[in-house]
Structure 1
């Protein structure tokens, strides 16, 4: 009884502290409040870049086409990007926003930029965190392609009392911790009030590709649906820009914990907003959302 009472008080004080900290961050960044465009259709599909997306695109492309489509990060590298002509694109990888004309080691970013400037000839909304504003890449996109409308979202991580966090999420003053770009994309689409959000290509199976070499360096083979598997090898996962130290095994699994916990937070928030998130990925370790098998095109 005494232990339960102590835990209750401890939890309350912890939530009070994190709520106050969240409010301080929100006040400092209130001018960056997210303002989202209205949805175009009642249903959307968020496409992750996991290897299983190839199977989903083969089996369910007609279904996906009839929804409002959301792509992320380097999806533009796939030929199907020009075929799908997605209405929405979310980039949260911070490497995009420190990229400059002098950057020599990110050919993937250079390729995405070229596709955006030269191949996107349909209206597309690009969602990026507010700290990306005035970056080299966003300057080129905003000046170079009028078809792409840039929406800056407020990536202030908010936690604490659930009622307070939900109000701040809903009003564009903060978000759950977006450990993956999929969490950011889903949060944005929940706030656009889609009736149903289908999730494809969210394998979240990085742990299957973790290795440790003889020098105790953590290696991961990151395979995307647009990659040729034979061209992808295990690479060190560095924790600093100077590439002196790789992440420890404990830090890597803590990162995975934050990702899966983020999906649980998002599931509860979506329920609060009356939005249904369904995981239609052919393969996925995400257990927060109901798993479904798409069998026929969605009716509009």
Structure 2
């Protein structure tokens, strides 16, 4: 009984402290509150870039096309991108916003930029964190394609009392920790008040591709649905800019823990907002959301 009382007091004090820290962060960044557009349809599909998306696109293409579509990061590399004509696109990779005309080692970013400026001939909303404002990539997009509307979201990670963080989420003043771009995309779509959000291509199976070489370097083979598997190899995952040291196995699995915990946070927040999230990925390790067989029409 006494131990339970100590634990309860300790938890309250911990949440009080993290709540105060979160409010301080919000006070500093509050002028950058997220302003989201109204939803166009009651249902949306968030498409991750996992290998299983090929199967979902093959079998559920017509279903996905009937929903409001959300793509992420390098999805524009896929041949199917202009056929889907997504209404929404989320980029949260900080490397996009450090990229300049002189950058030579990120051909993937250069390719995405080229597609956005030269090939997107439909209205599309691009969601990026506020710190991206003024970056080379965003300047090129805003100047080069008036059909793409840029929405800046406030990526201030907040913790603390649940009632407080839910209020901050809803007001666009804070977000859950977005360890992956899918978490950011889901958080934004929950706040756009879709009735149902379907998630495809969220394999979250990176642990299957972890290797350790003879030098104790951590290697990962990152495969996306648009990749040719024979062209993808295990590569070191460096923890420093000088590429002298890779992440440890402990830090890698801690990162995975943050991913899966982030989905649990989103599940509870979605329930609070009355939004249903369905994990419809053909393959997925995410256990936070319900699974369901998808019909051929959103109206069925």
SS of residue in 2 equivalent to 1:44: strand
- Matching of residue 284 in structure 1 with residue 284 in structure 2: yes
What secondary structure is seen at the aligned counterpart in 2 of 1:29? Answer: helix
Partner-residue secondary structure (3-state), 1:278: strand
Match of 2:29 in 1: 29
Q: Deviations over 1:131-160 (max 9, x none)?
A: 000000000000110000000000000110
Give, in whole Å, the separation in 2 of the partners of 1:34 and 1:73: 20
The answer for unaligned runs of 5 or more in structure 1 is: none
**SS of 2:17 mapped into structure 1:** helix
Q: Tell me the residue number matched to 2:189.
A: 189
Runs of 4+ in 1 over 6 A off after TM superposition: none
Residue 13 of structure 2 aligns to a residue in which SS?
Answer: helix
Partner residue in 2 for 1:227:
227
* Secondary structure of 1:265 counterpart: helix
Question: Partner residue of 1:148?
Answer: 148
Aligned-pair CA distance for 1:161: 0.1
Q: Which residue of 2 is the match for residue 2 of structure 1?
A: 2
Alignment of 1:47-62 (within 5 A): 47-62=47-62
The Cα offsets for residues 216-243 of structure 1, whole Å up to 9 and x where unpaired, read as 0000000000000010000000111111
Q: 3-state DSSP class of the match of 2:109?
A: helix
Quote the Cα distance in structure 1 between the aligned partners of 2:216 and 2:24: 40
* 2:127 maps to 1:131: no
CA distance in 1 between partners of 2:146 and 2:276 (Å): 33
- Residue 204 of structure 2 aligns to a residue whose secondary structure is coil
Q: Deviations over 1:184-228 (max 9, x none)?
A: 000000000000000000000000000000000000000000000
Q: Give the secondary-structure state (helix, strand or coil) at the position aligned to 2:156.
A: coil
| Equivalence for 2:165 | 165
How many residues align? The count is 300
Show the 5 A alignment for 1:190-209: 190-209=190-209
TM-score by length of 2: 0.99
Aligned to 1:104: 104
Partner secondary structure for residue 149 of structure 2 = strand
Q: Distance in 1 between matches of 2:28 and 2:134?
A: 19
Q: Is residue 177 from structure 1 mapped to residue 177 from structure 2 by the alignment?
A: yes
2:103 and 2:297 map into 1 onto residues whose CA distance is 43
Structure 1 position 292, deviation (Å): 1.1
SS for the counterpart of 2:296 is: coil
Backbone CA RMSD of aligned residues: 0.7
TM-score by length of 1: 0.99
